[in-house]
Amino acid sequence: MTDKDFYYEYLGLPSRHASAIEMVDAGGIYLYSREGKKYVDLVSGVSVNNVGHKNPFIIEAVQRQAAQYMHLMVYGEFVQSPQVRLARMLAGRLPEGLDVSYFVNSGSEAIEGALKLAKRYTGRPELVAFRNAYHGGTQGALSILGNERLKNAFRPLMPGVRFLDFNDVSQLHQITGKTACVVVESIQAEAGIILPEKGFLQALQQRCKETGSLLILDDIQMGFGRTGRMFSFETFDFQPDILCLAKAMGGGMPIGAFISSREIMRSLTFNPELGHITTFGGHPVSCAAAIANIEFLEANNIIPQVEEKGKRFVEALLHHPEIAEIRQKGLMLGIEMKHPEKADRIMQNLLQNGLIVDRFLFRSTAFRIAPPLTITQPEIEMVTGKVLKSLENL
């Protein structure tokens, strides 16, 4: 018996259709399998490894903090330097109104916390979300997930959720004085990289202002440089009331946060006290990694190069006759196939040629390219060459 046999035997699995390659090592943009095959990671663990695998700067920060202390006490009880330093770093990079961070362990938890905060602050019963949005797998996040197939088997879910179509300004009047919050991604990732139309996010922010509803940005997949700015609302020029972060935040370590103004966040501290608690939220080792992640991105000028790198992928691939469209912002690309039925086959071809790409949850006619932001220009040339070759053999 091998680990692969035990994997099927002992792990609860979300699907039977995983590649189930046994990976034994990683570095930069590469993953290495037990069979000795070298793969290029064009998914970044789904928008996590923005600073590359086995980044020495992150490793050093993790090792240093692990040797000093790990878990001491539930979140918020003791003053822990990694949490305080990280919260101050974030506040220093965010506009006024996004000053206070509540640390959690994952994206779903950031969404759960944000929903609770909005309900508690506004005292309102209704939530608004968008069709084809993905916000996580927990019950609250699932309730605002804009896809029936994934959530129907788990009803009853939270009541009072209204769904709107992304990019449709004519539906924004459905946000009313009863709406506690509106949850939105600036780019709908799992819908296949659907970019916001000009003015949509600004109109949404304006409608939330008029109705006193809180605008929650799910920046879990786009945060930490993916769109060419540290946070995606900077790319698209609007401002949420609550910002949800996770994924790339910890440079490969698990951590998430929801961030708001001091006034809004205070409402979680009282009535009831301890109404929102977490044991591992803001784990010191994860916070140390998150600090190193921001430092690495900034010290190495990674983010300003992201848009140009993404554009290079588009230039190299767009004119291939098998490709219908490429939706791109920064290093987040949705490659739409001309013949939808070939999407699965191209992903298999790419894998055989050592390139790991990924499907989208809600769009089967396209595939995702989202490499570590540290990918170099020569690596992009190598990768696009291999993609073109794989397209030839469809």
Ligand X SMILES: Cc1ncc(COP(=O)(O)O)c(C=O)c1O
Half-sphere exposure of 126 (CA within 13 A, CB side): 14
Q: Please tell me the distance from the alpha carbon of residue 107 to that of residue 137, in angstroms, as a whole number.
A: 9
The answer to whether residue 328 forms part of the interface with ligand X (CB under 6 A) is no
Could you tell me which residues are beta bridge partners of residue 183?
A: 216
Long-range contacts of 67-71 (CB under 8 A, 24+ apart): 68/284, 69/284, 70/283, 70/284, 70/285, 71/279, 71/280, 71/283, 71/284
DSSP H/E element including 379: helix 377-392
Q: Does 221 bind ligand X (CB under 6 A)?
A: yes
How many C-beta atoms surround the C-beta of residue 298 within 10 A?
Answer: 14
Number of residues lying near ligand X (CB under 6 A): 14
Q: Does 218 bind ligand X (CB under 6 A)?
A: yes
Site string for ligand X, 265-294 (x = CB under 6 A): ------------------------------
Question: Looking only at residues 38 through 77 of this chain, which bind ligand X when binding is defined by CB under 6 A?
Answer: 46
* Residue 106 found at the interface with ligand X (CB under 6 A): yes
x-or-dash string of contact with ligand X, 170-209, rule CB under 6 A: ---------------x---x--------------------
Residue from the set 75, 130, 134, 313 that interacts with ligand X by CB under 6 A: 134
Strands (E), 22-76: 23-27, 30-33, 38-41
Q: Interface mask (CB under 6 A) for ligand X, residues 338-377, using x and -?
A: ----------------------------------------
CB of 329 within 8 A of CB of 188? no
One of 52, 136, 223, 228 touching ligand X (CB under 6 A): 136
Closest CA to 248 of 225, 279, 217: 225
- 150 binding ligand X? (CB under 6 A): no
**Distance between CA atoms of 333 and 5, rounded to whole angstroms?**
34
Q: Which residue is nearest to ligand X (CB)?
A: 107
Cβ 107 to ligand X, closest distance in Å?
2
Which residue lies nearer to ligand X by CB, 99 or 112?
112
Q: Which residues bind ligand X (CB under 6 A)?
A: 46, 106-108, 111, 134-136, 185, 189, 218, 220-221, 246
